[in-house]
Structure 1
Amino acid sequence: MLVQWKGVMPAVTTKFTAEDKLDLPMFIKNIEAQVEAGVEGIILGGTLGEASTLNDEEKKILIETTVKVVDGKIPVIINVAEQTTKGAIEAAYKAEQYGAVGLMMLPPMRYKANDRETVTYFSEVAKSTSLPIMIYNNPIDYGIEVTLDMFDELQKFENIQAIKESTRDISNITRIRNRFGDRYNVLTGVDTLGLESTLMGADGWVAGLVCAFPSETVAVYKLAQAGQIKAALDIYRWFLPILELDISPQLVQNIKLAEVYTGIGTEHVRAPRLPLHGEERTRVIKILEDGLKTRPVLPEYKHL
């Protein structure tokens, strides 16, 4: 399946049972909700997917399960976040064997690679696989910025096709467009810049709170793309206090709690993460309850 690198693509959470096993029934329920809402791809094993806690067998199960559930309707993409080039090449190979049709790639983990090392890392993986790649540029959380000059060097690899833009600098979308035209698709990776990025010309939105609110997220994107800005803005203004739960070190716990409140997830996380507690839990619950009390009736958006 061809990856278009556009539209809303949820970075889905990994569902666990109280016994710390994969909760496939709840995982499937959430994936089905995403497909029904109109997302245009599923991304597994990202930060929200608690990738660093998953073993290879669990990743295999998640990919194969998702491929079966989406049944060819939308692409299944997996994140590659490895410490070594060898490990990243192996992860890309396994992803293709398990049925993924695209990769989202972070720079090397733990070691703060310089520009030359980072470009070489991406280049070696790109040469090793036929899968299309979206480079995840998030210097705030991961410490390495993929600069425009680095993206210039990577243009020669046809399978490096997209950028997940998470620098928090909204004008970077325009810089990418000015320099590269349509060479790269650009998807925002910051929930609180979802609408703004779409209006600035982003092709899509790799979203987090979509895990709990799939229809609202897709509606904002599609309405904005269709030029129905007021309708998109009305939903987005309601949504923003909830979207801000994505900008937190506890984003996984926040979003999993939101999934509980919308009935398509559980609160179980994998240690060392623990569910929210105390004042922070009370604060997040109030945001969710206030939002659900005023949850908007969505206009018809799927045909847009």
Structure 2
Amino acid sequence: MKFEWKGVFPAVTTKFTENEELDLAAFDINIKAQLEAGVDGIILGGSLGEASVLTEDEKFVLLKHTLKYVDGKVPVILNIAEQSTYKAVAFAKKAFEYGADGLMLLPPLRYNADEDETITYITAIAESTPLPIMIYNNPVDYKIEITLDMFERLSVYENIQAIKESTRDIINTTRLINRFGDRFKIFTGVDPIATESIIMGADGWVAGLVDAFPKETVAIFRLIKAGRIQEAIAIHRWFLPLLELDIHAKLVQYIKLAEVATGIGSEKVRAPRLPLKGKERERVLNVINTALALRPELPEGSWGILEKVTA
């Protein structure tokens, strides 16, 4: 499937049963809500998807199931988060065989690879597959930064096409545009600063709170791209306390709890994660419930399958 790296791509959560098995029925409820809101792609097996506790077989069960459910409406992107180059290359090849539309790629996990090691890892994967690739640059959580000079080295690979910019440095979006023009499509990957990043030229948003609030997320993106900045900012100001749930170690539990509140998810997680309890649960629920009580009416035409902005 040929597609454009542009728009809102939810990093979807993985749903589990009480026995911590995949819950595909619950998963479908959320994917349906995402599609109805007009998202532009789906990303499986990211941090929010609890990639670290999924088996390889489970990741490909999710891929096969999602491809069938989505049925070509939007691209389905599979995340690669591996420790060895050998395994990452094998994973990329298998993703292509299963029909993934693209890949999101983290640098090597656990080992703090240097620049040459990181470049070698990424290029080995790029050379192993025809699939388009988004590089996930998140030195805050994963300890390896892919610098502008490193992206220069990677720019010779045609299938490395997009960057998930998660350095949390708002200026980096402009640095990338100044350095590379439109060579790479830039996706903001940090919810609280997404509005600012899109205004400054980001092509898309790999979003987290979209899992619970898909219409609001899509509305912000489309309004900005349509030049309706003040309307987008008004939604963002309401949304910010929720968006800040995305930058916490327990973002999975926080966002899943928000999914329950909006009726499109389950808070079941896989150990070692545990459901929230006590004062922490009360605090997060207060953020969610306060936002729900003040939930804004969205401008007409700012979300929905049939009303996509083409700008």
Q: Same fold (TM over 0.5)?
A: yes
The CA deviation string for residues 43-84 of structure 1, in whole angstroms up to 9 with x for no partner, is 000000000111122111111111111111100001001000
Structure-2 separation of matches of 1:236 and 1:257: 20
Residue of structure 1 in register with 2:263 after alignment = 263
Q: TM-score if structure 2 supplies the norm length?
A: 0.97
In the alignment, is the contact (CA less than 8 A) between 1:3 and 1:132 conserved in 2? no
User: Secondary structure of the residue that 2:43 maps to in structure 1?
Assistant: strand
- Measure, in 2, the Cα distance between the counterparts of 1:3 and 1:21: 32
2:152 aligned partner: 152
Q: What's the CA shift for 1:284?
A: 0.3
- Give 1:221's aligned residue: 221
* Correspondence for 1:77: 77
Per-residue CA deviation, residues 218-240 of structure 1 (Å, 9 max, x unaligned), is 00010011110111111111100
* Amino acid of the structure 2 residue aligned with 1:42: I
Q: How does 1:239-258 map onto structure 2 within 5 Å? A: 239-258=239-258
**2:280 maps to what in 1?**
280
Task: State the alpha-carbon separation in 1 of the partners of residues 243 and 223 from structure 2.
Answer: 18
Structure 2, unaligned runs of 5 or more: none
Q: Secondary structure of 1:110's match?
A: coil
- Compute the displacement of 1:3 (Å): 3.0
Match of 1:209 in 2: 209
Aligned residues: 304
Q: CA RMSD in A?
A: 0.7
Q: Give the Cα separation in 1 of the matches to 2:53 and 2:141.
A: 17
Q: Deviations over 1:225-264 (max 9, x none)?
A: 1110111111111100011111100000000000000011
Tell me the equivalent position of 1:98. Answer: 98
For 2:7, the equivalent position in structure 1 comes to 7
Structure 1: which amino acid aligns with 2:254?
Answer: N
Distance in 1 between the 2:219 and 2:55 partners? 35
The residue correspondences of 1:64-213 to structure 2 (distance < 5 A) are: 64-213=64-213
Using structure 1 for the length normalisation, give the TM-score. Answer: 0.99
Whole-angstrom CA distance in 1 between matches of 2:152 and 2:144: 16
Matched to 1:117, the amino acid is E
* Matching residue of 1:33: 33
- Amino-acid identity (%): 63
Q: Which residue number corresponds to residue 19 of structure 1? A: 19
SS at match of 2:97: helix
Instruction: Supply the distance in 2 between the matched residues of 1:96 and 1:159 (Cα, whole angstroms).
Output: 13
Q: Distance in 2 between matches of 1:29 and 1:173?
A: 33
Q: Work out the CA distance in 2 between the residues paired with 1:11 and 1:106.
A: 14
Return structure 1 stretches of 4+ with deviation > 3 angstroms. none
Structure 1 unaligned segments of length 5 or more: list them: none
